[in-house]
């Protein structure tokens, strides 16, 4: 059994999630490559040491360059704000180290393109955890098998309400395009659409700031985005993302219509997938609620009981398993930095469309 030293840059919400996932992944999935929590990096020596003690790392630092250059750190997880992603990733790849980078991959299209170039020849993965639920993995399998026939329409959303209250003051999320809805929540939505339906050809988008004035200042980014899209396979779709959707807590949802049935899912009930098959007597037709269980992808390692369910942290653990498996095999697994770039390309097209008021092509090489 082989061991690999892991360094995580960022000790906050996602840094903790990845630290816990790395601790759990090898045991949950009985992996041949087991991570060793070697070093964690935070913005100050005090916070880095606090995270080290809490999460079980051997060492801590306040300088990400120290972590990247340390020979005992053999794989790097980037869990910082996206403004730092490119520089850290390029430095890690220059040292020949595998890199897992949280979404969105870069702060701009230029950053994402440069990161893909730097990743060439190295193990790389971008963090889109919601798409890894057993239910959605099963939905992808059903679509690949043609279970609902030829797809005719797709609707996707990622809606939450953490800024729905207009009396909430301005904060880091209300400043800068990268922290707006289109840079924060919408990438999960775009990744979902790409994973389920394939490449997007063109988009027509509107971007809106609902609560421009908040206590303490002015909001400088968007609250929500809606867009029509046309996939390269010819299917039309509609995508919506919002951080001001009152009442929605984890509204990561999709609905897919086909010639022989349909699929729908809502992550507020993440352990259930709804499947309709257009077969049998009309009077007996209806959606079937499928509760996830050991027969579905990546479920059994967590629990042997059907319907008992997996949760948010389990999604991150599945990501860690995939990253470690890619390193062990020496072969990249989905989603790679190229898949992360595809999300940024959709974001770029949406912003161009919102500015021009016209349909815009999603440019991809």
Strands 200-208 and 261-266: unpaired
Do 92 and 146 belong to one domain?
A: no
How many structural domains is the chain composed of?
Answer: 2
Do 23 and 65 belong to one domain?
A: yes
| 70, 101, 122 - which closes a domain | 122
| 75, 90, 122 - which closes a domain | 122
Confidence at residue 208, expressed as pLDDT on a 0 to 100 scale: 97
Do 162 and 273 belong to one domain?
A: yes
56 Ramachandran zone, left/alpha/beta (phi>0; psi -120 to 50)? left
Confidence at residue 1, expressed as pLDDT on a 0 to 100 scale: 57
Q: What is the pTM of this model?
A: 0.96
| 96, 122, 148 - which closes a domain | 122
Series of mean pLDDT values for 10-residue runs along the chain (365 residues): 93 96 97 97 97 98 98 98 95 98 93 97 98 98 98 98 98 91 96 98 98 97 98 98 98 98 98 97 96 98 97 98 98 98 97 97 79
Confidence at residue 365, expressed as pLDDT on a 0 to 100 scale: 54
**Residue 250 vs residues 74, 80, 86, 266, 268: alpha-carbon distances, Å:** 34, 22, 28, 8, 5
114 Ramachandran zone, left/alpha/beta (phi>0; psi -120 to 50)? alpha
Whether residue 337 lies inside any domain: the answer is: no
Do 118 and 197 belong to one domain?
A: no
Domain containing 33: what range?
2-122
Which CATH number do you get for residue 52?
3.40.50.720
């Amino acid at each position: 059994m082989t061991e690999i030293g892991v360094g995580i840059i960022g000790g906050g919400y996602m840094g903790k999630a990845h630290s816990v996932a790395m601790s759990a992944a090898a045991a949950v999935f009985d992996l041949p490559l087991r991570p060793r929590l070697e070093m964690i990096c935070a913005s100050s020596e005090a916070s880095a040491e606090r995270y080290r003690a809490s999460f079980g790392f051997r060492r801590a630092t306040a300088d990400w360059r120290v972590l990247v250059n340390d020979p005992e750190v053999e794989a790097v997880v980037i869990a910082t704000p996206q403004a730092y992603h490119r520089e850290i990733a390029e430095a890690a790849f220059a040292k020949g180290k595998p890199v897992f980078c949280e979404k969105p991959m870069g702060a701009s299209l230029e950053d994402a393109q440069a990161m893909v170039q730097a990743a060439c020849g190295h193990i790389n993965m971008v963090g889109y955890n919601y798409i890894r639920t057993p239910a959605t993995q099963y939905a992808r399998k059903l679509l690949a098998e043609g279970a609902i026939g030829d797809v005719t329409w797709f609707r996707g959303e990622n809606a939450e309400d953490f800024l729905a209250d207009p009396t909430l003051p301005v904060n880091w999320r209300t400043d800068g395009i990268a922290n707006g809805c289109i840079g924060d929540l919408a990438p999960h939505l775009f990744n979902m659409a790409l994973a389920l339906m394939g490449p997007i050809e063109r988009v027509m988008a509107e971007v809106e700031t609902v609560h421009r004035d908040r206590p303490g200042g002015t909001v400088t980014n968007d609250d929500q985005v809606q867009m029509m899209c046309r996939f390269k396979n010819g299917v039309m779709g509609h995508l919506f993302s919002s951080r001001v959707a009152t009442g929605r807590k984890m509204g990561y949802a999709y609905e897919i219509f086909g010639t022989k049935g349909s699929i729908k899912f809502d992550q507020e009930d993440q352990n259930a997938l709804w499947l309709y098959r257009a077969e049998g007597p009309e009077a007996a037709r209806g959606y079937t609620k499928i509760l996830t269980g050991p027969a579905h992808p990546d479920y059994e390692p967590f629990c042997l009981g059907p319907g008992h369910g997996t949760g948010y942290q389990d999604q991150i653990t599945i990501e860690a398993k995939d990253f470690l498996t890619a390193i062990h095999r020496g072969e990249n697994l989905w989603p790679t930095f190229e898949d992360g770039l595809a999300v940024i390309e959709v974001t770029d097209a949406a912003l161009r469309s919102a500015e021009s008021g016209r349909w815009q092509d999603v440019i991809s090489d």
